[in-house]
Amino acid sequence: MANAGLRAYREVLRLVRRLPADARPYYAKYARENFVNYRHLSADDDLVALLRRAYAHSAWVLSKYSIDADVAAGRLKEVCSADGGV
């Protein structure tokens, strides 16, 4: 589970590329700030909760821009669920 946060961050940045060009900088910065704020998390339970939150928030943002979250965020869901989340 040590690299789950990094893998989730990578997938979130891939999803940001699917957003409209004018929204990408905001969401890329938002994702980075959130992942940096929680990088020292030690408890696995806390990480699972954050992975679940990352998936839910990503799905919401994608749906906000009329992007099919089930298709687009499939890899993020795999990353999050492989480590006990989603």
- The rounded distance, in Å, linking the Cα atoms of 85 and 77 is 8
Helix residue spans in the chain (DSSP H)? 4-16, 24-37, 44-64, 69-72, 74-82
- The rounded distance, in Å, linking the Cα atoms of 48 and 79 is 11
Domain boundaries, the chain: 4-82
Which of 69, 2, 57 is closest to 30 using CA atoms? Answer: 57
Altogether, the residues listed in the chain come to a count of 86
Whether 15 and 73 have beta carbons less than 8 Å apart is answered as yes
Q: What pTM did the predictor assign?
A: 0.84
- The rounded distance, in Å, linking the Cα atoms of 86 and 27 is 21
pLDDT for 45: 74
pLDDT in single tens digits along all 86 residues of the chain = 558 888 999 999 999 999 999 999 999 999 999 888 887 777 777 888 888 999 999 999 999 999 998 889 999 999 888 755 55
